[in-house]
Structure 1
Amino acid sequence: MQPTVSQYLSNAAEPEAVLADSIVEDFGHAIEIPAYGEKESLLETLASVPAGPIAPVLATVVVNARGDSPPEVLETNRLALEEIGRVFGPGRPLSEDPPARLHDHPHGRLLVIDRSASGRFLPAGQGIGLARKIGCDLLLRLHAGGRLRSSWIHATDADTVLPADYFEQVAGLDPASTAAAIYFFEHRFSGDEDLARAGRLYEISLRYHTLGLAWAGSPYAYEGMGSCLAIPASAYARVGGFPKKNEIEDFTVLNDLAKVGRIERLAGTPVGLAGRISTRVPTSTGRALSVLARQPGAQASFQLRHPLVYAHLAVWIRVLAALARRSDDVHTPLSALPHGTPFFRADLLEEALSEMGAFEAVREAIREPGDERTVLSRLHSSFDAFSTRDLLDALRDGGIASLPYLEALAEAPFTGL
Structure 2
Amino acid sequence: DETLKKIILSGLNIGVIDASSRGNELPNKVAGVGLARKIGMDCALKLFDHSSKKKKIFICLDADCTVSKNYLTEIVDAFNNNNINCASIRYEHNIKNNDEETKAIICYEIFLRYYHLGLLFANSPYAFATIGSAMACDAESYMHIEGMNKKKAAEDFYFLEKLSKSFDIKEINNAIVYPSARKSWRVPFGTGQRVGRFLSNEKVEYLLHNPKCFEILKKYIFLLAEENNVQTIMSKAKNISLHLYKFLVDKKFIKVMDGIIKNSKTKGQIHKQKIKWFDGFKTLKLIHYLRDNVYLDINMFDALDEMFEKLNIKFETNRQKGTILSIDIQKKYLIEMRNYLYG
- Over alpha carbons, which structure has the higher Rg? 1
Alpha-carbon RMSD across the aligned residues, in angstroms, is: 2.6
Are 2:235 and 1:335 aligned? yes
Q: Are residue 108 (structure 1) and residue 12 (structure 2) matched?
A: yes
Native 8 Å contact 2:197 2:203 kept in 1: no
Name 1:272's counterpart in structure 2.
178
1:94-130 deviations in Å (ceiling 9; x for gaps): xxxxxxxxx9352412111101123221122232212
Aligned to 1:315: 219
For 2:231, give the aligned amino acid. Answer: H
How far is the alpha carbon of 1:191 from its aligned partner?
5.0
Matched AA of 1:131: A
Query: 1:414 aligns to what?
Result: 311
CA contact (8 A) 1:179 1:260 kept: no
Moved more, 137-146 or 239-248: 137-146
* CA contact 1:179–1:258 (8 Å) conserved in 2: no
Aligned identity (percent) is 28
CA distance 1:152–1:110, change in 2 (3 Å) = same
Does residue 392 (structure 1) correspond to residue 298 (structure 2)? The answer is no
Distance verdict in 2 for CA 1:241–1:372, change over 3 Å: same
Over 3 Å counting, the alpha-carbon distance change for 1:218 and 1:272 in structure 2 is same
Structure 2 regions of 5+ residues with no counterpart? 316-343
**Aligned residue type for 1:126:** A
TM-score by length of 2: 0.82
User: Counterparts of 1:227 and 1:112 in 2: how far apart (Å)?
Assistant: 18
**1:210-359 aligned within 5 A:** 210-295=116-201, 298-299=204-205, 302-323=206-227, 327-328=228-229, 330-336=230-236, 339=239, 346-359=241-254
Residue of 291, 299, 307 corresponding to 1:404 = 299
Map of 1:40 onto structure 2: none
In the alignment, is residue 164 of structure 1 matched against residue 164 of structure 2? no
- Label 1:202 to 1:310 Cα distance change in 2 as closer, same or farther (>3 A): same
Among candidates 350, 361, 369, match of residue 256 of structure 2: 361
Contact 1:303 1:405 in 2 (8 A): yes
Deviation at 1:373, TM superposition (A): 2.6
Distance 2:81 2:159 in 1: 17
CA contact (8 A) 1:152 1:231 kept: yes
CA distance in 2, matches of 1:145, 1:382: 33
Q: 1:379 to 1:131 in 2, by over 3 A?
A: same
Q: Corresponding residue for 1:378?
A: 273
Q: Give 5+ residue unaligned stretches, structure 1.
A: 1-42, 48-86, 90-102
1:398 Cα deviation after fit? 1.2
Question: Across the two proteins, how many residue pairs are aligned to each other?
Answer: 310
262-271 or 128-137, which deviates more: 262-271
The higher relative CO (CA closer than 8 Å, separation ≥ 6) is in: 2
How far apart are the structure 2 equivalents of 1:184 and 1:150? 20
Structure 1 residue 415: deviation in Å?
A: 6.8
What residue number does 2:25 align with? 121
With normalisation by structure 1, the TM-score equals 0.68
